[in-house]
Structure 1
Amino acid sequence: MRPRVKKIIIGVLDVVLGAYLVLAVTSFNKPKVVDRYCSKVEITIADSTDAGFLSAPEIKSLLQAKNLYPLGKKMSTINPRSLEEAMAPRGGSGLPFVKTAECYKTDDGHVCIIITQRTPLIRVKSARGDDYYLDDQGGTMPNSKYTSDLIVVTGAVSNSFARYYITPMARAIMGNDFWKNQIEQINITNDLGVELVPRVGNHIIYIGQLPWGKYKSQIDRNVAAYVNKKLDRMLKFYKYGLSKVGWNKYSYIDVELDNQIVCTLRHEVRKEDTAESEAPEADKAQPRSTGHHDSDSLARHDI
């Protein structure tokens, strides 16, 4: 063998041997994955800017209560699936505002938890004392200490009526840029008529009873079509009626009938009559909603 070739071979072997020794020393000093302990837990609330019903400390407290919080535990004993199931609301053991929970481990000893929240669509405060949220799928969520600027539903609202009828109505309202900002309250009368309380304008909008259906998909379609039709007519009345006579001229606006809007003229109270006609404190506390209009001062508009 030529001396030059021999030197090249020896040089290559030296490089390979050196690389092997470096890897061997590194592997020896680096802890095995099975022996490593969790050094950090990263909890991310994916949509916290849109819905503030969950916080990282709440997730931590839930896992600690179930002895599942991974910090300080061996990575080999941490089961991401168990953590996900503990946070999900299935079976009532998780957090009701959790929509999805994803958990995974990293090679450097970290456990990452990513949470998405259920989106509250509307708040229900029924006459019988119920107070809860509905999500966009009709699921119920308990009242929370966190506040949210949602439309409030009051009156004769049963749980099933809220889930099957209020939900598609709320979706129709929230899908309209104008009405989702204009409506602040929905009141259900004893005969299940629907009254809408706007933010702008001192009046009540009555749209009638929501159409019934046998199946959920049928109810969703019928209610959405009905509500959109009534709101479209009311928007035209805003543009071509109230814009001319004033937004506070009528106290009650009934759009239940097709091709006609029935309005109750507002009763003007004279200043000298105020002291005599002032309502007792108990009456003042009643909701703004008045049920069907009972005044004899009506105006009818063809729309």
Structure 2
Amino acid sequence: MLTILTAAVGATEYRRQQRVCTQISVAIEHEGAESFVGEREIRGLLQQREKSIIGLPLNALELKQLEHRVLSNPYVERVNIYYDLEGKVHVAVQQSRPVARLIHSKLPDAYVSTTGKLLPLSGRHTARVMLVGGELVPKLIKGNWTQDSISIQLLSLAKYIEQDDFWRAQIAQMDINQQGEVVLHPQVGRQTIKFGKPDQISEKFDKLKLFYQQILPRKGWNHYTKVNLTYENQIVCD
């Protein structure tokens, strides 16, 4: 019995070693008309030593190296590559998702993703996200959004706006000065909104919502030109 079992295990291992890659299956999260990366681009990166992996023995595939190649596409946030018993290689891709677009007259525009990753613009798709301008943009375009304290706060602010249907539709742009203070520009209405430092985010937006729900209906959308949210428990309108 031991001899038979040993022979069976050996045969199974031999067949495993002889299996080759027969097919590549690419699954891209949220792939569609608004995708920054498509299956064609991913397949183009799936080469090992400049050759297609189809036909190569599965045990010769350098999966981590292939994942690094796919991650070289800036719009790929995460990737997981594995193969099954039939020889099919599966590639599961999670795209980077922009929350804001950094704009500056002297620098190329760039996106920042939900994880703080800076992304170049894409010829494949233009994301409809909030614009970020102002004096601090050159530093933001070249900086690290996951380590700098102001950038971390600004990313939290951008994500808060992006995750709320009303604010995502209403806030068109935020400008940031050298001190990291924020001014918001709405889609509807001619007010500039002084947000101040990107802190106490939910509290400040609660006050701004009160302005839209209770003050503007009485005074009219174009009655005020400035709204200041920086004072505690107050809304100052001019």
Q: Where on the TM-score scale, by shorter chain, does this alignment land: which range?
A: 0.7 to 0.9
Correspondence for 1:58:
41
Any idea what SS the aligned residue of 1:59 has? helix
Cα separation, 2, equivalents of 1:69 and 1:75: 13
Question: How far is the alpha carbon of 1:192 from its aligned partner?
Answer: 4.0
Q: Is the 8 A contact 2:100 2:113 kept in 1?
A: yes
Distance 1:190 1:46, change over 3 A: closer
Give the counterpart of 1:165 among 153, 167, 174.
Answer: 153
Question: How far is the alpha carbon of 1:200 from its aligned partner?
Answer: 1.9
After superposition, the CA RMSD in angstroms is: 2.7
Any idea what SS the aligned residue of 1:180 has? helix
Matched, 1:42 2:25: yes
Cα separation, 2, equivalents of 1:207 and 1:33: 61
Question: How far is the alpha carbon of 1:38 from its aligned partner?
Answer: 2.5
Counterparts of residues 53-132 of structure 1 (less than 5 Å): 53-64=36-47, 67=50, 69-88=52-71, 94-132=72-110
Matched, 1:179 2:154: no
Question: How far is the alpha carbon of 1:242 from its aligned partner?
Answer: 0.8
Distance 1:50 1:194, change over 3 A: farther
TM-score (norm 2): 0.77
Cα separation, 1, equivalents of 2:20 and 2:180: 59
The superposition leaves residues 40-88 of structure 1 with CA deviations (integer Å, 9 ceiling, x where unpaired) of: 1111102325961211111112234862531232334223233223223
User: Aligned AA for 1:85?
Assistant: H
Of structures 1 and 2, the one with the larger relative CO (CA 8 A, separation 6+) is: 2
Correspondence for 1:201:
189
Question: How far is the alpha carbon of 1:184 from its aligned partner?
Answer: 1.5
Gaps of 5+ in 1: 1-26, 89-93, 211-222, 264-303
Q: Is the 8 A contact 2:37 2:95 kept in 1?
A: yes
Correspondence for 1:9:
none
TM-score (norm 1): 0.62
Question: How far is the alpha carbon of 1:122 from its aligned partner?
Answer: 1.5
Cα separation, 2, equivalents of 1:152 and 1:66: 41
Any idea what SS the aligned residue of 1:201 has? coil
The superposition leaves residues 266-292 of structure 1 with CA deviations (integer Å, 9 ceiling, x where unpaired) of: xxxxxxxxxxxxxxxxxxxxxxxxxxx
> Which contiguous aligned blocks of 4+ residues in structure 1 show a shift greater than 4 angstroms?
none
Counterparts of residues 138-157 of structure 1 (less than 5 Å): 138-145=116-123, 146-156=125-135, 157=137
Cα separation, 1, equivalents of 2:95 and 2:17: 33
Distance 1:82 1:193, change over 3 A: closer
Correspondence for 2:205:
231
Cα separation, 1, equivalents of 2:111 and 2:157: 14
Distance 1:143 1:33, change over 3 A: same
The superposition leaves residues 227-278 of structure 1 with CA deviations (integer Å, 9 ceiling, x where unpaired) of: 3222211211111111112112223323333424132xxxxxxxxxxxxxxx
Count of aligned positions: 215
Counterparts of residues 209-224 of structure 1 (less than 5 Å): 210=197, 223-224=198-199
Distance 1:50 1:241, change over 3 A: farther
Cα separation, 1, equivalents of 2:84 and 2:66: 15
